[in-house]
Structure formats: structure tokens, C-alpha cells
Amino acid sequence: MTQCLNPDCLRPNPPQTKFCQSCGEKLVLKERYRPLKIIGQGGFGRTFQAVDEDKPSKPFCVIKQFFPQVQGTKSLEKAAELFA
Ligand SMILES: [Zn+2]
């Protein structure tokens, strides 16, 4: 399975798919990391399990997506700081 990273979509796609069949977004991040599924979701965003397709051993890795659910510049700055 390949998980779409678009926050408004998040649709699972068949393995090896290059573009999301629902929203048309590119599925492989930086032509390298293929998201497989969502493994975490919280106030700062989402965490995806992914595969590094650039390495021969295709190791698992993690994609963290910053997607804070806060309003206002100050809270956003704080969220960005904590996320980093
Ligand atoms: Zn999509």
C-alpha cells in the first residue's frame, strides 16, 4: 500500500503507484520515500511509516509531517519550536 500524504486526501493507493489515484499528488517524497501507512497522529501533525526506496535494502523509515492544529502566529511559532 502507498499512503497519500495530502492532508485533505490521505487515501491509500496500491503499492508501486506514483501518483494518488484520488487527488493526483505525487506519492513518493523526494523521489525516494514511499509512505506506507499512518502510524501516529497528534497536535503537531502525522507520522507515517515509509520505505527508503533509494537504498538497495529498502529500509523502513519515518516521515513526520508538520501540521499543527493551532490558531495564531504565536502558537504556531511555539508549535514549530516544539516540533523541531
Ligand atoms: Zn491523495
Cα(31) to centroid(ligand 1), Å: 16
User: In this structure, are residues 51 and 33 in contact, taking their beta carbons and an 8 Å threshold?
Assistant: yes
Cα(83) to centroid(ligand 1), Å: 24
pLDDT of the chain, 84 residues: tens digit per residue: 999 999 999 999 999 999 999 999 999 999 999 999 999 998 888 999 999 999 999 999 999 998 887 778 888 888 888 888
- The CATH code of the domain that includes 59 is 3.30.200
Cα(81) to centroid(ligand 1), Å: 28
Cα(74) to centroid(ligand 1), Å: 31
Domain that residue 75 falls in: 2-83
Cell of 83: 516540533
Domain count, the chain: 1
